[in-house]
Amino acid sequence: MAQSILVTGGAGYIGSHACKALARAGYQPIAYDNLSRGHREAVRWGPLVEGDIADSSRLGAAIEQYQIAAIMHFAAYAYVGESVSDPALYYCNNLAGTLAMLETARQTEVRHIVFSSTCATYGTPEIVPIRETAPQCPVNPYGETKLAIERALHWYGEAYGLRWVSLRYFNAAGADQEGEIGEDHDPETHLVPLVLQAALGQRPAIEVYGTDYPTPDGTAIRDYIHVDDLADAHLRALERLLAKGEPVALNLGTGIGHSVREVIATAERVCGCKIPVQDAPRRSGDPAALVADPSLAAELLDWRAQYSSLEMIIHTAFAWHARQRMRALNLNSAP
């Protein structure tokens, strides 16, 4: 019988892609999501249990019902700016919610967790590319709550035998290569979908925050990783845990940085149109460059980014956004 994996946040962007990858690899994904920021229609490869990670009776019942072998824990709020203006939201949902979830996992004897961490736990790095051993000094509540969970996982492992892998993603981007699911955040804050919205005329221009960074073209550099590469890394992390591999924290990125202007230029080529640009001042707390050293994930998971060229990321994301736009226009024009 297929092993059942509970995917918290399975109706969200990265969680839904992980569900597809799990189903394809022969697991049964059980999406567990309160739909606060996810989409019911993104859950296609297994059942959806509608519930909050902090609701121990609902979560415990789902774990018992489906005989869950492991949890992939994506459920969280993930807007850096919102975490600064409303830290309570992040401490309550991301940290307190996850601690409640870990308690339910402990009581129901689920011992394997793959956790969605982030490069935001590093703050402003002194050395780029960033290795896992770099100091973790977050500069916002979002990164703080993720780091606190990483530390809790460590101590729960020591004391209770919990086995975990923390995956520190850099900038997730792109969409399912078959066009079935994609990125749909509201409000959208990520560069690639914002650039594509400008290309599709859904926003007047793309704002470039900071043109005086010490980078070749003056704009900030980030490491963009395709969501299908993230999903693949989750599968490999899960298999490591089920094979009794040791807990570990790993960077997930390509090791190659791209500037904001490079992203826009690539999008213009892929979309075949000029994208209006509006230069704006830097945002506080935005480092000049964030690029992963992904060599530990390569060594321990035998994982390498395969779909993360900027062209592939933008091509898959554009196909998804254009299709969503057509669907919305058709719905609006239906009699």
Ligand X SMILES: NC(=O)c1ccc[n+]([C@@H]2O[C@H](COP(=O)([O-])OP(=O)(O)OC[C@H]3O[C@@H](n4cnc5c(N)ncnc54)[C@H](O)[C@@H]3O)[C@@H](O)[C@H]2O)c1
Length of the chain: 335
Least distance (Å) between residue 129 CB and ligand X = 17
224 lines the binding site for ligand X (CB under 6 A): no
Q: Which of 37, 236, 240, 258 binds ligand X (CB under 6 A)?
A: 37
Query: Residue 320 has what DSSP assignment?
Result: H
122 lines the binding site for ligand X (CB under 6 A): no
Note whether 218 and 212 are within 8 A (CB): yes
38 lines the binding site for ligand X (CB under 6 A): yes
Q: Which of 22, 43, 114, 172 binds ligand X (CB under 6 A)?
A: 172
Least distance (Å) between residue 94 CB and ligand X = 7
Least distance (Å) between residue 11 CB and ligand X = 4
249 lines the binding site for ligand X (CB under 6 A): no
Is 91 an annotated catalytic residue?
no
Kindly write out the interface string for residues 59-88 of this chain, putting x where it contacts ligand X by CB under 6 A and - elsewhere.
Answer: ---------------xxx-x----------
Q: Which of 83, 171, 219, 308 binds ligand X (CB under 6 A)?
A: 171
Provide the β-strand partners of residue 164: 113
Least distance (Å) between residue 333 CB and ligand X = 28
Nearer to ligand X, 12 or 247 (CB): 12
320 lines the binding site for ligand X (CB under 6 A): no
Q: Which of 5, 6, 30, 53 binds ligand X (CB under 6 A)?
A: 53
52 lines the binding site for ligand X (CB under 6 A): yes
Dihedral, CA of residue 254, residue 255, residue 260 and residue 265, to nearest 10: -60
Least distance (Å) between residue 334 CB and ligand X = 27
Extract the tokens encoding 279.
């230069």
Other C-beta atoms lying within 10 Å of the C-beta of residue 50: 15
Q: Which of 5, 7, 14, 102 binds ligand X (CB under 6 A)?
A: 14
SS3 label, residue 2: coil
b/e burial code for range 118-147 (CB count within 10 A of at least 16 → b): bbbbbbebeebbbebebebebbbbbbbbbb
State how far the alpha carbon of 33 is from the alpha carbons of 11, 221, 295, in Å: 6, 33, 32
Q: Among 90, 142, 169, 213, which one carries the catalytic annotation?
A: 142
Provide the β-strand partners of residue 209: 280
Q: Return the range that interacts with ligand X (CB under 6 A); candidates 48-56, 207-215, 300-308, 324-332.
A: 48-56
- CA within 13 Å, CB half, 220: 22
Query: Residue 306 has what DSSP assignment?
Result: S
Note whether 275 and 267 are within 8 A (CB): yes
189 lines the binding site for ligand X (CB under 6 A): no
Q: How far is CA 223 from the centre of its chain?
A: 13
The beta strands (E) that lie in 190-284 are given as 206-209, 221-222, 224-226, 248-252, 258-259, 277-280
Least distance (Å) between residue 2 CB and ligand X = 23
Site residues, ligand X (CB under 6 A): 8-9, 11-15, 33-38, 52-54, 74-76, 78, 93, 97, 116, 118, 169, 171-172, 185
Active-site amino acid positions: 142
